Structure formats: structure tokens, C-alpha cells
Structure 1
Amino acid sequence: MRTTPLTAVPLLVAALAAPAHAATVPAAQPPRVPAGTTAAWVVFDRQSGKFVAARNAHRKFRSASVVKILIAIDYLERRTSVPAADAKLLRIMLRSSDDDAASAFWDRLGKGQIIVRTARKLGLADTTPPPASKPGFWGYTSLSAYDIVRTYRYLLDRATPRVRDTILGHLRAATPCGTDGFDQTFGIPDAVPRPWAVKQGWSGFGTTPPVRCGGDVRAAAAPISWITQRAAESGVPDYGRPVLHTSGLVGKGERYVMALLTAHPAGASWNTSVKRTTTLTRSLYRHITG
């Protein structure tokens, strides 16, 4: 399949600036972003080899768990075999977004150097490690919707079959519940018909979900207060605001590569943020499919 080169940022801009009657521009209206929410998205059509939707394509967000894809790429490409214990860690990190598994790889592989290496190899111009003051916080990696789409395209078009099949195989089998008890079916899983392969990200909602995935009611989770207090000095995008990200391969034959990143008002609840993100995702999918 012939596709647009990964480096074709000008082509992205040109395609999105095309007249409304152009064949590459969907007829449906793009999503409306609610007041107080910051959103960015990029969608690449693998069938046409073109970008078909974008908003704030290069705006940086803190990665939350989406960075786990980069951690997995770095780990797998630096070895020829995977011990059983590490295979289990990869499985729960990618399918159930397990934080302890991510931290184990993060510490072992050099923390922020993982991001330096993968950004250089994949050509991720918007992706940078966490600030020096917070080297252990892999979720404070900065990235953009464009770079996430670029990462999926790397897996599809350039990675070895072993790396591609391992990572995408796990993302195709993403579990409804994260190991932290949060429901990770927001965004693509709730808004887009199967098949899909997804990696979700969430941060800033505390450590206890308002309703544990599976129906176990818990105390409402509020965003962590010290995040807001130290927002100005952190150097982390949207520090002080909860974020929800949904990304993956969607459509028949995994035709589209989609990334939608959102930052919500400080203090926004999990349920409200999830509804906003899922509504945006549904509208974006309708926009690209007509």
C-alpha cells in the first residue's frame, strides 16, 4: 500500500486547507469542542494515503499512558527475545494500561532516554521526556496528536513484524478495565464500531475511580490538588488539568489511524470528561466517514 510519507507535514496542512468540495474533505461537520475543553486530533486514512482531519495537530499534551506504546517499542527493539516475565508485563501494560509494568520498564531502560531514543528513531518532533525535576514520571512525557499517529504508522509500515504484531496484537485485545480500576472504554471503544486497536490515557483524576470498572461503587475521585498548586512551575503541558486521550486503528480493515487528545477544566469530574471525550470521538468518526 502506497502512503503519504511520514514527514509530510506540509501535505497535512494543504489537505486540510483544501476547498470544502474537494474529494478528500468529508462532508460532515467537524466536532464541536465544549467550552473549557482543549482538544487536538489527527486522522490518517491508510486507504487514500491522506490525512483527512486535524485540529491542533502539533499541540503538546502530557502523554499519560499513551507513552506506553513508546516504552514497548524501545524495549522490543533493543532485544531479540522476551523472557516470560517481561512478556507478561508487556501484556498488562498495553492491554490493561498497568502503571507498575510501565514503571518497571521505565526504570530499567533509562527513564527519559527511552523518549529521546524513540523520538529520534521515529522522527517525533513534538515528543520530549518529562522535565528533569520529575524523571520518574513517564506520564509527564510531552507529545502531540500528530506524533501519536506517526507512531502507529511506524508500527504499521516500518517496524519489524515481531514488534508490530506484539504491540498491535495487545492493543487489539485491550481490556475494558484498567488495572487501576478505571474504565478505559471511553473514546474509541464506546464511539466507534469494531474492529479497533486502542491505547488510552488518563491523568489528573486521582487514584480511586468514582465507580470502579465493573460496578463497584467507590468514593468520587477528585483531581489531585497539588497539581493545580504547582501548575505554573512544572513545565508539563496542561499541568493542573485532567487529561483523557484515545488513540488507535479504527474502521474496517483498520483503515484509519486516529489520535484524539483532550485536556479538561481543573476540577472536572471523570464522568463529565469521559462523556465529552466520547462525544468528540463519535463526532470525529462520523466526520471522516461521512
Structure 2
Amino acid sequence: METAGGGPMAATGGTTVAVAVRHLGSGASAGYGDAVFDTASIVKVDILAALLLRAQDAGRRLTALERTCAAAMIESSDNDAASALWRVIGGADGLDAANERFGLTETTGGDGPLWGLTRTTAADQLVLLRQVFGAPSERSELSEASRTYLQRLMGRIAPGQDWGVSAAADGPGWALKNGWLPRGTTGLWVVNSIGRVTAGGDDYLVAALSSGNPTKERGIALVEEAARAAVSACGRKA
């Protein structure tokens, strides 16, 4: 593994993958790749974080409908729920404004209703994960209640969608969100996974992003391999 910021790692067949990881205890980090990727459904974490920030600013709780949409969007990756909340936060402009406060500098919201074509990097996704899961000593724009709520939803991913960075965990201690998207122009797949895992008794934040996969299954195998390698490398540095 290289330090984050190295060139994009090209896998077989022209597939590109990037990964970033942080040890929550020591702050040690490792990563590979600085390519920019379509988010697919991992942006749903960002959408909910932006919604929670909006609600905090207004001094209100999420409405019953917003909570229903948030649960469906994160736990089951429901696209209609994501579209509804995308509109609530103001689309790309709202996402970009929230991300400026979160410290994401390489993420740009998708055009119009196309939230899944938001563009991001593994390093930026790690910044987002630190807003949600970071140690108490780390400053977050999200309140403790907002963080706990998002963490809880990410720990309840529907069966069949619980692959990805969870492969780096050595038990049930994980919380994640995955994204997968076949590109219509090429037929190749974007497959991404972000979240927190527990391995060897330590907690890690991991973002593994990939594009150009010939199948969804190959993409899953790639991001799982990247997540395991990243956690192993970061554990040696901690």
C-alpha cells in the first residue's frame, strides 16, 4: 500500500480502484489511488449527512417522512427515497454546500436528479466517514445525535447488501453503505463501499472505490480485496 495520494491503481482489464483507511485509535492512515469515481449509492450517506446538518441548522428534528426515507435509503438502498431526500437538501447545490462544511474538497454533486453520478475520491469519502464515525476528540459538523442515528442505520444494511468493506472485519463489528452502477455507455460497473469495521479489536474507517468492472461480482471481489489489504497495511502502521 502507498500513502494516500499516489496514482490510481489499475487492476486487470483496465479496472481502476482506490482505497483509503484510517485507524480510529491511533489516527494512522494508509491508502492507494487518487482517481475520481462516480459514487453510485454510497452518496446516500452524504445525502443523509447533509439532511441532518440542515435539520440541525433549523433547530428541528427530522420529520416522520424524512426518517422513513432515510431508513429505506441507507438500509435497503431505496432509490426513490434517495431522490426524495435529494430534493429536500436542494440537490447538488445543497450537497456541495454541506460538503464544504464537512471538509470534502474533491466531491461534486451530480447534475439535476442524478445523485448517483456525484463524483468523489476515496480520500474525500474518508473525510465524510470521519464526520460520522470519528473519535470524540475530532470535530464534526454533525451533532452526537445525528452521528449516532447515521451510524445505527449503516449497521442495519439489508441481507444481500452487506458485502464490501465488511470483508475486512473479523466479526459483526461493521457499519457500511455500498454502491453499484452499470454504466449504460460501456456496460462496465462502478462498485464502491464505505464504512467502519472492527478487526483485531481495533476500529477502522475504510473507503474502497472502483470503476470499469466487467461485472458487479468482480467489482465486489475487488473492493473487498482492497479493503482487506488497506486494513492490514494500516494495522501495521498503528
TM-score under structure 1 normalisation?
0.69
* Number of aligned positions between the proteins: 220
Tell me if 1:174 matches 2:150: no
Tell me if 1:154 matches 2:131: yes
- C-alpha deviation, 1:254, in angstroms: 6.0
Instruction: Confirm or deny: 8 A CA contact 1:33 1:280 kept in the other structure.
Output: no
Report the counterpart of residue 179 of structure 1 in structure 2: none
TM-score under structure 2 normalisation?
0.83
Instruction: Name the SS for the 2:82 alignment partner.
Output: helix
What percentage of residue pairs aligned between the two structures are identical?
26
Find 1:284's aligned residue among 226, 230, 233.
230
State how 1:138-287 maps to structure 2 within 5 Å.
138-155=115-132, 156=134, 157=138, 158=140, 159-176=142-159, 183-193=160-170, 194-204=172-182, 224=184, 227-228=185-186, 241-251=188-198, 255-265=203-213, 268-287=214-233
- C-alpha deviation, 1:187, in angstroms: 1.7
Where structure 1 has 5 or more consecutive residues not aligned to the other structure, the ranges are 1-10, 17-30, 177-182, 205-222, 229-239
Instruction: Name the SS for the 2:20 alignment partner.
Output: strand
1:128–1:254: structure 2 CA closer, same or farther, 3 Å change rule? farther
Find 1:123's aligned residue among 103, 115, 129.
103
1:34–1:140: structure 2 CA closer, same or farther, 3 Å change rule? same
Between the aligned partners of 1:90 and 1:113, the Cα distance in structure 2 is: 19
Tell me if 1:84 matches 2:64: yes
Query: Which of the two has greater strand per residue?
Result: 2
State how 1:34-53 maps to structure 2 within 5 Å.
34-51=12-29, 53=30
1:35–1:281: structure 2 CA closer, same or farther, 3 Å change rule? farther
- Detail structure 1 runs of 4+ shifted over 6 Å in the superposition: none
- C-alpha deviation, 1:264, in angstroms: 2.4
- C-alpha deviation, 1:246, in angstroms: 1.0
Residue identity opposite 2:145 in structure 1: R
Between the aligned partners of 2:101 and 2:47, the Cα distance in structure 1 is: 13
Where structure 2 has 5 or more consecutive residues not aligned to the other structure, the ranges are none
Say what the alpha-carbon RMSD is for the aligned residues. 2.3
